[in-house]
Structure 1
Amino acid sequence: MKAPEEVVARWQDAWNSADADALSLLFAEDAEFVNVVGLWWHDRESIRVSHEFGFTTIFPGSTITMGKPRLRMLGDAGAVVQARWHLVGQVAPDGAPAGEREGIFTFVLERRAESWITVAAQNTDVVPNTQTHINAPEGRSSIYYRSLD
């Protein structure tokens, strides 16, 4: 990548092509990736394998739309790129359509030679009208502490 913010469009293209190989090539061999439920992968191959499974089982035919990237340079050789995303087409374990989702993706990139590579990423779901999660006796849920009026 010639510019760090290119990672957002390339992620979208790889996802929408269900191309785990192309997606994994956005990452350094020793990259770190934390997904929306806290699964943590420690290298490019783990990122590839996990997304390959996702494209065939959880997200077959899904479409992600990435928002405009926000860029923060960290000197000359580092960058943080963040973008909102919107996903349609996820399926439930029984194969039924699942609802749409939104989130925020954070990529940390490093300049290596004349190009940029992702060294760490974290994907976060946006849960509307909530502030945090809570483990209650009846199970884990998203909650909002302030009054909604």
Structure 2
Amino acid sequence: MNFSQTYLRDPNDLPQKWVDAWNDRDACSLANLFIEDAEFINVVGLWWHKRNDIWKAHDYGLKVIFNKSNLELRKVTTKEISIDVSIVHARMKLTGQTSYGGVVSPADRMNIFSFVMRKEAKGWVCVSAHNTDVIPGKETNIVNEKGEMSSVDYRK
């Protein structure tokens, strides 16, 4: 795959670019938001270390798991770390995930992305991203004796 780095005028532009590329099922445009040696951690902890790996994972995901999905940007906040480094947090809503197993019509999901952005001579680029599911009413995960994970709330 031949990539062409996307440079942004403002780090806040990244979440909308992500959403647009996702909804267009354009894994190459997603990957172009990242530098060559970027890091990406998905919601289940899969960790990719290069732009090409980010592209491969999303190319597969957008064709199989999320081929009829829609991603909606809900909220963006930015924390400037220095004049050339910012962390952008984005809350998003995912609908239309592909059915799997006994789940015929998967429910909507909320997530929060953390994007680490660096300013270069041509503009802002993403060096790292972490995607986390929001699980309403839960405060952590726990793994039982069988190795099965579930989300729990110790306050209840």
Question: Could you state the TM-score of these two structures normalised by the residue count of structure 2?
Answer: 0.90
Deviation at 1:68, TM superposition (A): 2.6
Equivalent of residue 71 in structure 1, options 47, 54, 78: 78
Identity %: 39
2:106 maps to 98
Matches for 1:43-54 after TM superposition, within 5 Å: 43-54=50-61
1:118 aligns with 2:110: no
Unaligned 5+ segments in structure 1 are none
C-alpha deviation, 1:113, in angstroms: 0.5
1:140 alignment counterpart: 149
Aligned to 1:10: 17
What residue number does 1:28 align with? 35
Asked whether the equivalents of residues 68 and 98 of structure 2 are also in contact (C-alpha less than 8 Å), the reply is no
Moved over 6 A (4+): none
Matched, 1:59 2:77: no
RMSD (Å), alpha carbons: 1.3
What's the TM-score once normalised by structure 1's chain length?
0.94
Deviation, structure 1 residue 114: 2.9
Kindly state the Cα deviation for residue 20 of structure 1 after the two structures are TM-superposed.
0.2
C-alpha displacement at 1:28, in angstroms? 0.4
How far apart, CA to CA, are the structure 1 residues paired with 2:50 and 2:116?
14
Q: Which runs of 5+ in 2 are unaligned?
A: 1-7
Aligned length: 147
Q: Which whole-Å CA distance do the structure 2 matches of 1:140 and 1:75 have between them?
A: 38
Q: Which residue of 1 aligns with 2:5?
A: none
